[in-house]
């Protein structure tokens, strides 16, 4: 690793007794950025309802935000045998009780409740790049010039190809400990680029678990002194950008008889709202969706079976089986998963407004 870690020093203190106290880390999303702070409780907790509301006093913005606990996980950074310590994801509200303008979870939750009878599931593939904060370059890249061109890195092994696998491993286990449905991880196409998958997750839990997995990644990065960027085109040039492919299915799509037909109907509905989707599929996504580097061009909707250059792809094994899920390849790595899952469900399941027919 580029920078020596202090993890072994910290470990000594984490083995000290914490008495009968519980440490809870409150985590919230402030305008697409994660924040967190800790609090001691003097009782054990098992359910999110047992965690009191708190507030962010708005030091940097002059307005107080109410933090309302919505989902509970175990804290891998304060491990105990009984998993006593918790991470709690919070929704943000204004003091008058209305949802904070950037609280996209609130809207998403309403949509997921409305379409609950379709049982929407998601799986998101989070790509990211590790950054050496001292050099302000991707981890392991030479001080001057560039590493060897893409081709040998994807799913590669060996110290000449892989920079930062310790972080990937630590994060993977941290997610499992926390209770996040991490499905796997792989080394990506661009050097020091990686991916992890979360899912399948039903409804609102997709956004919750992806945000938590990102939180864990940033925290693991701190331990190793390595930064993370979710920018969709962190390096200009012949280097793959970073996406957050969103895999989606409903109950009907997962069933044998009408699976493929339901997917095709959903894709047609989604195609009518391509630019509305693009509007919530991440900042600077135009730098990534060029039609090259395994992307479909941002300016036109396309779809295909096994086509990695399309907006939406039906995986080959799904087409063969006639049921399963589809993959929306447009979302960028910096998306808010609540906004992505909301619009996919709305576009594919709501009645089509007549204004969309010409």
Other CB atoms closer than 10 Å to residue 126's CB: what's the count? 24
Which of residues 192, 240, 247, 348 is near ligand ADP by CB under 6 A? 247
**Whole-angstrom Cα distance, residue 324 to residue 249?**
7
In the bound complex, what is the minimum distance in angstroms from residue 198's beta carbon to ligand ADP? 6
Nearer to ligand ADP, 76 or 199 (CB): 199
**Whole-angstrom Cα distance, residue 115 to residue 102?**
22
In the bound complex, what is the minimum distance in angstroms from residue 243's beta carbon to Mn ion? 7
Q: Does 303 bind ligand ADP (CB under 6 A)?
A: no
In the bound complex, what is the minimum distance in angstroms from residue 247's beta carbon to ligand ADP? 3
Give the start-end residues of each E strand in 31-136.
33-41, 54-56, 65-74, 86-93, 121-132
Q: Does 125 bind Mn ion (CB under 5 A)?
A: yes
In the bound complex, what is the minimum distance in angstroms from residue 18's beta carbon to Mn ion? 39
Pair of tokens at residue 214? 């990102």
Q: Does 183 bind ligand ADP (CB under 6 A)?
A: yes
Nearer to ligand ADP, 37 or 292 (CB): 292
In the bound complex, what is the minimum distance in angstroms from residue 346's beta carbon to ligand ADP? 17
Q: Does 99 bind ligand ADP (CB under 6 A)?
A: no
**Whole-angstrom Cα distance, residue 204 to residue 358?**
34
325 binds, among ligand ADP, Mn ion, none (CB under 5 to 8 A by kind): ligand ADP
In the bound complex, what is the minimum distance in angstroms from residue 185's beta carbon to ligand ADP? 9
- Beta bridge pairs of residue 89: 27, 71
Which of residues 245, 274, 277, 288 is near Mn ion by CB under 5 A? 245
DSSP code per residue over 255-322: STTTHHHHHHHHHHHHHTTHHHHHHTS-TTGGGT-SS-SS---TTS--EEET-TTSSEEE-HHHHHHT
| Alpha carbon 311 to its chain's center | 19
Q: Does 207 bind ligand ADP (CB under 6 A)?
A: no
247 binds, among ligand ADP, Mn ion, none (CB under 5 to 8 A by kind): ligand ADP
**Piece of 30-38, 122-130, 227-235, 346-354 that binds Mn ion (CB under 5 A):** 122-130
Which of residues 126, 197, 333, 348 is near ligand ADP by CB under 6 A? 197
DSSP 99: B
Give the residue closest to ligand ADP by C-beta: 123
**Piece of 20-28, 31-39, 187-195, 289-297 that binds Mn ion (CB under 5 A):** 187-195
- Cα angle 151, 229, 334 (rounded to 5 degrees) comes to 100
Q: Does 254 bind ligand ADP (CB under 6 A)?
A: yes
Q: Does 249 bind ligand ADP (CB under 6 A)?
A: yes
**Whole-angstrom Cα distance, residue 327 to residue 306?**
10
Q: Does 125 bind ligand ADP (CB under 6 A)?
A: yes
Pair of tokens at residue 303? 């779809």
Contacts of 256 (CB under 8 A, 6+ apart): 322, 323
**Whole-angstrom Cα distance, residue 121 to residue 200?**
6
Q: Does 195 bind Mn ion (CB under 5 A)?
A: yes
Residues 105-124 that bind ligand ADP (CB under 6 A): 121-123
**Piece of 9-17, 95-103, 218-226, 241-249 that binds ligand ADP (CB under 6 A):** 241-249
Residue with tokens 């918790």: 86
**Whole-angstrom Cα distance, residue 353 to residue 149?**
47
- Cis status of the peptide bond prior to 200, with omega within 30 of 0: yes
Which of residues 171, 245, 273, 330 is near ligand ADP by CB under 6 A? 245
193 with 125: CB under 8 angstroms? no
Binding site for ligand ADP (CB under 6 A): 121-123, 125, 183, 197, 199-200, 245, 247-249, 254, 324-325, 327
Binding site for Mn ion (CB under 5 A): 125, 195, 245
């Amino acid at each position: 690793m580029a920078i020596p870690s202090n993890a072994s020093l910290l470990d000594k203190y984490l083995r000290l007794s914490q008495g009968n106290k519980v440490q809870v880390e409150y985590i919230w999303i402030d305008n697409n950025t994660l924040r967190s702070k800790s609090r001691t409780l003097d009782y054990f907790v098992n359910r999110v309802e047992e965690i009191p509301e708190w507030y962010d006093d708005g030091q940097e913005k002059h307005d107080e935000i109410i933090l309302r606990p919505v989902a509970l996980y175990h804290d891998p950074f304060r491990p105990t045998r009984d998993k006593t310590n918790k991470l709690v994801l919070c929704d943000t509200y204004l003091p008058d009780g209305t949802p904070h303008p950037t609280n996209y979870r609130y809207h998403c939750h309403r949509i997921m409740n409305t379409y609950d009878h379709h049982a929407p599931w998601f799986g998101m593939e989070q790509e990211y790049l590790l950054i050496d904060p001292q050099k302000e370059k991707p981890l392991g890249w030479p001080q001057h010039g560039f590493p060897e061109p893409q081709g040998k890195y994807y799913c590669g092994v060996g110290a000449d190809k892989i920079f930062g696998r310790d972080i990937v491993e630590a994060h993977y286990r941290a997610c499992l400990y926390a209770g996040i449905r991490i499905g796997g991880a792989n080394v990506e196409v661009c050097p020091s680029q990686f991916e992890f998958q979360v899912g399948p997750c039903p409804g609102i839990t997709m956004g919750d678990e992806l945000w938590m997995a990102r939180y864990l990644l940033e925290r693991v990065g701190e331990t190793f002194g390595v930064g993370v960027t979710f920018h969709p085109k962190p390096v200009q040039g012949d280097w793959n950008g970073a996406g957050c492919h969103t895999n989606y299915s409903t109950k009907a799509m997962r069933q044998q008889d009408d699976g493929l037909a339901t997917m095709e109907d959903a894709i047609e509905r989604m195609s009518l709202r391509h630019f509305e989707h693009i509007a919530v599929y991440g900042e600077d996504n135009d730098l990534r969706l060029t039609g090259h580097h395994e992307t479909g061009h941002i300016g036109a909707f396309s779809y295909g079976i096994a086509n990695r250059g399309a907006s939406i792809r039906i995986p080959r094994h799904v087409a063969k089986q006639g049921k399963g899920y589809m993959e929306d390849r447009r979302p960028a790595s910096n998306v808010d998963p609540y906004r992505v899952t909301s619009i996919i469900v709305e576009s594919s399941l709501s009645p089509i407004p007549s204004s969309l027919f010409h």
